[in-house]
Every structure is written in structure tokens, then in C-alpha cells.
Structure 1
Amino acid sequence: MLLLSLLAAAIAPGIALLAYFYWKDRYDVEPLPIVIRLFLAGALTVLPVMVIQRALTLWLGESPFAFSFLISAGVEEFIKWFVLYHIIYNHTEFDEPYDGIVYATSVSLGFATLENVLYAFNEPVTFGMLLARALLPVSGHALFGVFMGYSMGKAKFSAGKRVPLLLAAAFFLPFLAHGAFDLIQQTVPPEWLWVMVPFMLLLWLRGMINVNRANSVSPFRMIKREEG
């Protein structure tokens, strides 16, 4: 019973956040099978990411900066970007800018959820610790997905020289946010970790601005208005 409770506590935050961003799509909700497939694809990236991170740790050492920006954020966000671009970017169901956010958060939360499950079963944890992870790493991954998906959604519906710049931004924006997130955790003493609260609030604020902007330029917006 305890194991099932831990498993549920580890999985629930990722599912809840994915449902939240999925239903924020105001005009054309994405096919659930594709969203689930991308969530599972994100989970499957955990093993190769762990292997690459282990090799980089042996090569680069464990300095806070190297860990935060190269080993953690660099590897994780690049793999998510790679999966997102090669699986869904050219898919016919990617038909409005907000879709980038739905698909990117699916990949990102798939990764974060399996990572959370492994943490729950490999470390001595309490439900309080899992709650803290839900509020920090798991929601952090969701927001990194929002930043990635927003830029990728803009790239999908842009043309010319803007496209490669926006695709690059789809990696670099979540990479910088993720690296800063990890660097704070690596360098700030535990009694000062409250500074993460305003940082997370800023991430959420930026993320919700992206959500609203992506919805506001949906090509289905006028269709919904006419139907209403």
C-alpha cells in the first residue's frame, strides 16, 4: 500500500500539470493519443539522458555551473527539443501555435514524471518531499516545456530567416531557465532556498503570458467566435 501511495504521489503532479496545459488550449484541443505518445516518448528519454549525464560528469566534474548548465539543463533540454522537433514539428496535427506548448509540455512532463518515480523509489523520501518536488522540479519542467513549445509554435507558423532563430530559441530559452533553476539549487544554502519562490513565480508569470499569447493567435479563434 505504501509503495502504491508513493507511486501515485510521484505520478500525480506530472499528470495534473499536463491536464492543466492540455485544457488551456481554448480553440482546438489536440488528439489525446498523440499527447500520450509524446508523454511516453519523454519518459523514454530518461535512460539515455542518465547515461549521457553520467559520462559528462566523469569528464567535466561536478562544479555547480557545469552540472547546472551543461550536464543537467544542456542535455535534458536538447534531448526534449530533438524529440519534439523530429516527432511532431512537421505533423499535420500541429496546426496552431498553442499546439507547440501542448506537445512540448507532454514531452517535458513525461521526462519529469519518470524522473520523479525513480527518485521516489531510489531515495528515502516522504510525502512532503514529493510535494516539494511537485512544486519545484516537476512544475519547473512543465514551464521549460512551455518556453520551448511557445518558440517552436512561433517557428512553425513563421517564414524566412525567423524560423531558424525561433527554433534556436526553442532550445536556448528553456536551457537558460533550467540552468538558472539548477544553479540556484546547487549554490544557495538550504535555509535560503526560499529565494526559489520568487524565481518560480517569475517562471509561471512568463509561462502564462506565453500561453495567452499563443492562444490569441490561433487560426481557429475566429471560427469559434462565428460558431458561438
Structure 2
Amino acid sequence: MNSEGQMEVSTVPADKKRGWYLSLMAPNTKGPTFCWLDPSRLYCNAQALADCVKDLLSPFNTDSIDLVAGIDAMGFILGASIATSLGKGFLAIRKAGHLCVATQKQNYSDYTKREKTLEVRLDVLKPGMRVLVVDQWIETGGTMKAAIQLIESLEATVVGVAAVAIENTEGGKWLKDNYTFSHCIPEELQGQIDGKYLNFFKSFQDGYCDKRVI
């Protein structure tokens, strides 16, 4: 806390390593009806967000990308940041009912196992357009797969998928096997991600995470 009692986001470590910003993520403090962590806390740190975007783009440095698509809703933050970094346009893939124009729809079920629908506008994607698809987190892979199906149904090409983390679920493995992918998780942390608990949560108290480097 600073002198005014406001929460400070950790400063950038001098010897930062790839994924250093993951220690800024916050654990779930509200119970089982919520996701097990909140990755969005790292976006509050400008350098963390910039480094996250840089890391996510590293596998695609030699690829031609025409458009970045982000999945409703948290994928909008990373997707728009990546699009700005690339100097490309951004396409929002929405949950059904939010677009007031003609759309293509795709049904799916996500980690909650509830049936849902994604939709995308029809006036942007063109045959052969190369699209990078971005979400905040990939758990079962159901949402990302639905987004891919939408894009490919309009004959655009999915260059790859990007997220802060891709869990090694059946769906996560399918995405890794079939598409170029990027995420920010070092190999030594993948087991913790799959186990839904990060060891540095032990030092997270009163909404403040210490400055340890992963």
C-alpha cells in the first residue's frame, strides 16, 4: 500500500525473465462460482502488459497477420493490445445477442459446461484473410474452438491462437496439436497451471502480491 492507502502494482524486477509478470495475477478469493484466478491484474502494470504482448507474439514474428480477433470479453484486452502492437485491425467475437448487424453464429460449451453461442459480424472476414485469435485463458478449449470454427466457416485462415495460458486439458492439447499457439507459461509452471494453484499465491495477502520473480 502507498501512503494514501491505495494498492500498488508490483514494480518491474531488474532481472526480469520471460513470464515475470505472471506473479501479478490474483488468486480467487470469492469461492467456487468464480474462476480460480484473475489474470487481468497484470494488465494494470504497463510494462507487464507490454511484455505479455511481446511474448505472445514471439512465435508469429515471421507470419503474415491481417487481423487480430479477440473473444468476448477478456480476450478483447489482449487482442486489442496485440492488434495495436502489430498495427492491425481488431475484430470482436461476441457472445450472442450483442451485435446489431448480420452475424454468423456458433454454439459451444465452455468450462462451465453450459451451452452458449458466439457470433461474428459478416462484413469483415474474407476468404484467405489471415487471423490471429486471442483469448485471456484457455481451459477446456471449447470457446476458442468455437471462435476458430466461426472464422474458418467464413473461409478466413487462422494463423494461430494466443492466450496468457493454455491448460493441458483434452481441448487445450487439441489446439496445441492443430494450430500454432503461444502462451506465457514457462514449462516449469505448467503443472501448477494444470493443478489450478500457483505457489506464489501463498505470498498474496490483502490484494497485494510481492515482487518475487518467476
TM-score clears 0.5: no
Normalised TM-score (structure 2): 0.30
Higher strand share: 2
Q: Tell me which protein shows more helix as a share of its residues.
A: 1
